[in-house]
Amino acid sequence: MCGIVGVFGHNPVSQVIFDSLSMLQHRGQDAAGIATCFDERFYLEKGNGLITEVFDAGNMARLLGNIGIGHVRYPTAGCASVAEAQPFYVNSPYGIVFAHNGNLTNVADIVQGLFETDMRHLNTNSDSEVMLNVFAHAMARRGAVKPNEFDIFAAVEEVHRRCKGGYAVVAMIAGVGMVAFRDLNGIRPLVFGTRQEGKTEYMIASETVALQVSGFKLEHDLAPGEVIFIDHNGELFNHVSLQAHEKAPCLFEYVYLARPDSTMDGASVYQCRINMGIKLAEKIKREWSHLPIDVIIPIPSTSRIAAQEIATRLNIPYRDAFVRNRYVGRTFIMPGQAQRKQSIRRKLNPIPQAFQGKNVMLVDDSIVRGTTIREIVAMTREQGAKNVYVCSAAPPVRYPNVYGIDMPARSELVANGKTVQQLAKDIGADELIFQDLQDLKDSITEASPDLTHFDSSVFDGNYVTGDVTEEYLATLEKQRNDAAKHTEDVASHITRNLSSRL
Ligand SMILES: O=P(O)(O)OC[C@H]1O[C@H](OP(=O)(O)OP(=O)(O)O)[C@H](O)[C@@H]1O
Ligand SMILES: NC(=O)CC[C@H](N)C(=O)O
Ligand SMILES: [Mg+2]
C-alpha cells in the first residue's frame, strides 16, 4: 500500500506532487521519490525516509517541468534499499519512469521470460521494476516512434496479461505523456481528478485526499483494468480492458490503510468506519450485555471513529486516554518487528486517571501481528484497570496478504490457528470480540451500494485473483518472514552503496 500520484499541469508541478505525497504519507514511510519531465528530460530525486527527509528546497528546485509523478514506499517485495525507492526509470524505449502501489504474485514466472526472451535487465528484486520492464517491452514491441493511445492501450493490455496481483500505476513516457492504470480486479485504489487553471490540469492518485489538497475535483475512480493516457498536448484518452473482472477492492483499505477523509470507489472511508462501529456495537449488545463496561478507550489513531460510534450506541463514556505522540509514525507499516514493538510505548502513552479501578473496553480497528494490542493491554493493566475487554472493528486477520500489504507470513499473524478464547488469553484480555466479516462488508456496501465484492483474503483466505496457491504462500512466507527480510536488508547495504554511484 504505497502512495502514488501523477500530475499533468501547465505550470511547474513539483510542489503539487510534494503536497499530494504529504497527504499520502500514511501509505508508506520508508522511501519517497518524485520524477518530473521538462523538455523531454527526466529529473528524478528519491531516497529513504519520509518526504520531509528526502526533499528540501535544493532538490525540489531541480525538479523541473509541468508534468511529474511521485511515490511513497512501504516495501512488500525486494528490500528496503534506496535502490528500490520509486519512481523507477528505464531509458528504452523512449525513457519511462514508473511508480507502483501493490504487489505482483507471479514475479518468478515473468522474470525468466524477461531475461531470456525479452533481453531486459533487472537491477533489483523489486516487483515494480519487473512490471516496468514488462510495460517497456510491450511498448518497444509496438515499434512506434511516436506512440498514440492505441499503442499505450495495447501495451497495458499486455501488462494485464502478464502481471498477476494487485496494482495501481502511474508512469510518464518522455515526449509522449502520462499513463495510469489499475489491476483487473480493482484491488488497489486509484482516482482521477481535474482542476481548471485556464486549461484543464489532471491528477491521478491513490486517494482523494491527494486531489483535495491542491484543489483537484474527483472525476472518477479508475475501473478495474482501466487505463488513462494523457498525451503531451494534454489530450485525454481512456480504455477499459476486456480482461477486466468485477470490481473487488481490498477490504483492508477501509479498515486501516486509507485516510478517513478519503472516498474510495464511492464509499466515504469515514462513513464505512462509522458503520463498522454501529455493527460492532450491535454485536456487543447481543453478546456482552452481562459485562460491566465503565469506559471505552480507542487505540489511536485509526480506531477512533469506530470507537466513538460504539460508545454513543452503547451509551458508555468515551475517553481518549492514550495520548498519541505526533512525532512517531504508523507502527504497523514499520519494516521490522523489533522496531514496531519498540515504537508502541513511545507512540501511545496512558493517562492514569482514566484507567484506575475501571472496567475498560479497548477498541482497535484491527489485530494483525498483535504487537499493538499486547502492549496496550499490558499498559492498561499497569494503570490499574479492573478488567480489560478488547474489541476489533475488523474480523481476525488469519491469512497473508499478497496484493500490497506487508503481511506475508501466516505464522506471524497472532490469530493464526487460534480460537477467539485462545487469542484473548494470548493477548492478555479478559474478553475479546471481533466484527463479523459479513458486517464488515455490509459497512462498506451501505456507504456505496454498488460495492458488493471485495478482496477479503486476509480474513477468509479467498484470494480474488484466483491464482494464489498454497505453494506460493509457503514460498512467500519463507522469503519474506521478518528474519528473512532483515537478512536481505543487511545484504542490501551493498546495493545501497552501489546505487549511490549509479
Ligand atoms: O496487530 P498489529 O500488528 O499491531 O497491527 C494492528 C495495529 O496497527 C495499526 O496501527 P498503526 O499504529 O500502524 O496506525 P494508526 O496510528 O493509524 O492506528 C492498526 O491501526 C492497529 O492498531
Ligand atoms: N506497498 C506497496 O505498494 C509496495 C510496492 C512494491 N511492491 C514495493 O515493494 O516497492
Ligand atoms: Mg492503530
Measured CA to CA, the distance from residue 396 to residue 169 in angstroms comes to 30
3-state secondary structure 212-237: HCCCCEEEEECCCCEEEEEECCCCEE
Give residue 488's pLDDT.
66
* Fold (topology level) of 269-450+459-468: Rossmann fold (3.40.50)
**In the predicted model, what is the mean pLDDT of the chain?**
95
Give residue 498's pLDDT.
40
Q: Where are the alpha helices (DSSP H) in 353-451?
A: 371-382, 420-427, 437-447
Asked if residue 111 lies in contact with residue 118, where contact means CB atoms within 8 angstroms, the answer is no
Asked if residue 69 lies in contact with residue 97, where contact means CB atoms within 8 angstroms, the answer is yes
Residue 494 has pLDDT above 50, yes or no: no
CA of 232 to the centre of ligand 1 (A): 42
Q: For residue 58, give every residue at least 6 positions away whose Cβ sits within 8 Å of its Cβ, in sequence order, or none.
A: none
Q: Domain ranges in the chain?
A: 3-247, 269-450+459-468
Measured CA to CA, the distance from residue 207 to residue 28 in angstroms comes to 13
CA contacts within 13 A on the Cβ side of 408:
27
Give residue 199's pLDDT.
95
Helix axes 127-142, 107-116, angle to 10 degrees: 50
Q: Is 2 tagged catalytic?
A: yes
Which CA distances in Å does 364 have to 137, 320, 361, 388? Answer: 45, 13, 10, 13
Tens digit of each residue's pLDDT (9 = 90 or more) over 193-250 = 999 999 999 999 999 999 999 999 999 999 999 999 999 999 999 999 999 999 999 9
- What ipTM was predicted for this assembly? 0.98
Q: 339: part of which helix (H) or strand (E)?
A: helix 337-347
Global pTM reads: 0.95
Measured CA to CA, the distance from residue 58 to residue 96 in angstroms comes to 24
In angstroms, how far is CA 51 from the centroid of its own chain?
A: 16
User: 3-class DSSP state for residue 194?
Assistant: strand
Q: Which three cell numbers stand for residue 457?
A: 483474503
Closest among 153, 158, 221 to 187, alpha carbons compared = 221
Confidence of residue 499 (pLDDT cuts 50, 70, 90): very low
Q: 173: part of which helix (H) or strand (E)?
A: strand 165-173
Residue % of the chain over a pLDDT of 70: 97
CA of 2 to the centre of ligand 2 (A): 6
Which ligand is the nearest neighbour of the Cα of 334?
1
Give the mean model confidence (pLDDT) for residues 284-308.
98
In angstroms, how far is CA 101 from the centroid of its own chain?
A: 7
Q: Is the CB of 29 under 6 A from ligand 1?
A: no
CA of 365 to the centre of ligand 3 (A): 7
Q: By alpha-carbon position, which residue is closest to atom 9 of ligand 2? A: 75
Give residue 411's pLDDT.
94
Q: Is the CB of 302 under 6 A from ligand 1?
A: yes
Lowest mean pLDDT among 24-38, 185-199, 330-344: 330-344
Residue 141 has pLDDT above 70, yes or no: yes
Please state the atom number of ligand 2 nearest to the C-alpha of residue 27. 1
- CA geometry: angle at 272 spanning 367 and 434, to 5°? 30
Which CA distances in Å does 47 have to 33, 67, 82, 169? Answer: 6, 20, 6, 19
Q: What is the CATH number of domain 3-247?
A: 3.60.20.10
Q: Is the CB of 392 under 6 A from ligand 1?
A: no
